[in-house]
Structure 1
Amino acid sequence: MITETTSHYDHLETMSVGELLTNINKEDQTVPLSVEKAIPQIEALVTQIVARMKEGGRLFYIGAGTSGRLGIVDASECPPTYGVPHDLVIGLIAGGDGAIRKAVEFAEDDPEQAWKDLQVYHIEALDTVIGIAASGRTPYVIGGLNQARAAGCLTGCIVCNPGSAVAQAAEFPVEVVVGPEFVTGSTRMKAGTAQKLVLNMISTSVMIQLGRVKGNKMVDMQLTNIKLQDRAAKMVMSELGVSREKAEELLAKYGNVRGAIEAQQ
């Protein structure tokens, strides 16, 4: 597997801090170019997701280790950013929530567990399951995709090796081949960065397609802290040409930017 091949760099322990940082950065600069090559695959997957979610489907991410954590991060950020329900985009990790902070030994090796985890959410045919696995060989992900596909769900994946078992299990695979890691086999580095970039692209484009952005603004964001309240007030002030006091009054009444703006139009 390419993700396990030897680093282009050696004798890392002899490098200065500046050399280490410079060389890691050089490797990181290759990641967006690798993602760019996968845009047609990402587009095909997103198009299918949007169609299903418009009919009431949900989006699930399944993964182990770093890949699972990245899916959970992306899913957890959708409700505050776009005002969607917490059960619309769901991230699942091998080993359960405890594995978010601490590795759970051998959790990723059970090909039946992902489907059991998905069934807790009463998964249905309109739902989409995206498996995330840098190696492309994680049994937890392969088993989950196979069973989800058999149940009629849409299946996709994000992997960093070509021709993997995970990609074969998914209808719409996204393969981002980033090459050897700076530290051999440490896929939390370039592979993890690539997965994060692709997840950003998927969830953001899906939410825009679902009407959760107006212009370029997060009009449905939840006003859960002072920073977001300030951002919302400025958005309303700019859109409606009103004072800050009026903007805050509208936000207090309608609860979000969209409601405040649409009430005055």
Structure 2
Amino acid sequence: MVPVDDTALAVTDTGGSGIPVVYLNGQFATQGYWRRVIAELGTGCRHITYDERARGKSERSADYSFAGAVRDVDTVLAARGVDRPLVVGWSYGAYVAAHWASRNPDRTLGAVLVDGAYPYDWLDEAMEQRIRTLFRRLNWFMPLLRPTGLTPRMTAEQQADSNIELGVISREHELAPVLDDITVPVRYVVASGTSFGSRGDEQERIRTSLAGVIARNPHVQMTAKVPSSHGAILKKASPAIAAAVREVVALDPPT
């Protein structure tokens, strides 16, 4: 358990002398989601996973902001004595990874962004109401699942607020400059199916925004688009994600 602010984060570190890879979870996911990706990469990397605040085995907090999530990356790295990791983020974690890599080019080997960090204006008043309604409905079931660690120890309102904040961070004028400023290798692995709560082709329209990023920033490329939904991509496309990690690592061979 790594203390930070008013809470403590559950961290797992395999140790070893391999390239340190830090995995950043989906918004309400846990570090266990990365098992297949870690198995694909094997012992050649040092794998560091952790549960975000109030997720998994980590403790509750008064701060579930995106800014806090980005700061927590520094806390985990300092606690484990890690310099210059490769950051791998899925969904919400892709946004965290993109921001951290953009702010810390001298401390970052590179980033792999898994079906997230797309600069697209998907949040409006109707979507905000839809999000709040969805989490109010889910609140009937979430207390039953919390003892299993499958749902966060957050209220429905806190989860909705977090999702709405992500919508603000995703806006083109907010996220595009972050991605454009990245100067380390970035590889995207993109899903092709829907995500939880999406309708029709909403998710595919969001993904189209990646083309502009790639056109503007030569450091950013797409390694693969895979036949998977957003939620199943870590399970179904673990070989593609591992290949993206190896691709970034190969760009910075040891001296």
TM-score range normalised by the length of the shorter chain: 0.3 to 0.5
Report the TM-score when normalising by structure 2: 0.41
Asked which structure has the greater CA Rg, the reply is 1
Report the TM-score when normalising by structure 1: 0.39
More strand by share: 2
